[in-house]
Amino acid sequence: MKKTGKIIIIAEAGVNHNASMEMARRMVVEAARAGADYVKFQTAVPELVISSIAPKAAYQKEATGEGESQLDMCKAIHLPLSAYPELAQLCREEGIGFMSTPFDLVSIDALVPLQMDFWKIPSGEITNLPYLRKIASIGGKVILSTGMSTIIEVNEAVEILVNGGIRREDIYLLHCTTQYPTPYSDVNLLAMESLRKLNVGGVGYSDHTLGIEVPVAAAALGAQVIEKHFTLDKSLPGPDHRASLDPAELAAMVKAVRHIEMALGSGEKRIADCERPNIEVARKSIVAARPISAGEEFTEENITVKRPGNGISPMDWDSVIGKKAKKDFPYDSLIEL
């Protein structure tokens, strides 16, 4: 796929399609229109992921009520495995990369033929040894979200992937806080620096806060991958819509991240091309503080420093003092030696 910048931006559709293929297609189109590099779904056979006794998370209860189990909720919002080849094809047509996070081993197998650029491992699977070994056995590049985990657990997961055949430089670690929405006080963006010390291919940030400020800040801190949930309509029923961006907000986030990406630059301190014309305007030169006659010695009293900056630099002040004027210099004129 064609990337628009160095930072990989993933528009997380997740299950915000509410099991509607029509909505899933629209989400592909909207993510492409917003300028994201990838649109990512979530692939699962709910019965293989969630037991009948698993409770809902508090945010899920708040968004969807307590009348159904977590399993029943997920059954109602997941697309069948047969839907993903069509979505992958639509992504190719729309010029956006296709990704989907598998949540079980069967879903991994279903996604293999779709030849995704990255395997996306969700935070909940970071301690799932059989799952990690399965991904590693297939090979390729991996983006691993690290919500709810310690640096020790992250390192263990990385080592499992590496020992299973994934190259360390092909692993990207996303700092993440698994709460929807995430309070700003619990974001801890600087944790990306801890992940960077694990010497993987790159680090990034998967965001669950409200708004776009935090992912934009992550870009400024050097995130190489940014993931953000989006929805067609925040008022739709389902667990993730409220903490997601709408299409206009997603486009605004992508635009802001691209601006920050350009603004980061190379890190070398140099004169920017755009500011070169302003050197003459903003810097100063040595000028006559009063009329100076030919043969008169330059002193602290008869010369001074003023704009423009196209004469002798004030940094050469000491070399000018004591020399004699070879001609008359009117007030405010540039001194010449």
SS3 299: coil
Q: What is the mean pLDDT of the chain?
A: 96
Tell whether omega for the bond before 122 is within 30 degrees of 0, i.e. cis: no
pLDDT value of residue 56: 86
Mean pLDDT over 239-256 rounds to 96
CA atoms of 150 and 6, how far apart (whole Å): 28
Mean pLDDT over 287-306 rounds to 98
Tell whether omega for the bond before 239 is within 30 degrees of 0, i.e. cis: no
In contact, 282 and 308? CB cutoff 8 Å: no
Split at pLDDT 50, 70, 90, the class of 83 is very high
DSSP per-residue letters across 194-209:
HHHTT--SEEEEEE-S
In contact, 25 and 45? CB cutoff 8 Å: no
CA atoms of 71 and 13, how far apart (whole Å): 20
* 4 has a pLDDT exceeding 70: no
Enumerate domains of the chain plus CATH numbers.
8-264 (3.20.20.70), 273-320 (no CATH)
pTM above 0.75, yes or no: yes
Split at pLDDT 50, 70, 90, the class of 2 is very low
Taking only the tens place, the pLDDT of each residue in 123-138 is: 999 999 999 999 999 9
- Percent of the chain beyond pLDDT 70? 99
In contact, 180 and 240? CB cutoff 8 Å: yes
Split at pLDDT 50, 70, 90, the class of 5 is low
The 3-state DSSP composition of the chain as helix, strand, coil percent (nearest 5) reads: 40, 20, 40
Element holding 282 (H helix, E strand): helix 279-282
SS3 127: coil
Strand bridging mode 225-229 / 8-14? parallel
pLDDT value of residue 219: 98
Split at pLDDT 50, 70, 90, the class of 46 is very high
pLDDT value of residue 288: 98
CA atoms of 97 and 89, how far apart (whole Å): 10
CA atoms of 237 and 231, how far apart (whole Å): 11
pLDDT value of residue 62: 82
Q: How many helices (H) and strands (E) does the chain have?
A: 13, 10
Residue 60 CA, chain-centre distance (Å), reads: 26
Strand bridging mode 8-14 / 303-306? unpaired
Both tokens of residue 326?
């070879």
Residues contacting 251, CB < 8 A, separation 6+: 33, 34, 35
Q: What's the number of CA atoms in the CB half-sphere (13 Å) around residue 229? A: 25
Residues contacting 168, CB < 8 A, separation 6+: 158, 162, 199, 200, 201
Q: What's the number of CA atoms in the CB half-sphere (13 Å) around residue 153? A: 15
Exposed e or buried b per residue across 140-175, where buried means at least 16 C-beta atoms within 10 angstroms of its C-beta: bbbbbbbbebeeeebbbbbebbeeeebeeebbbbbb
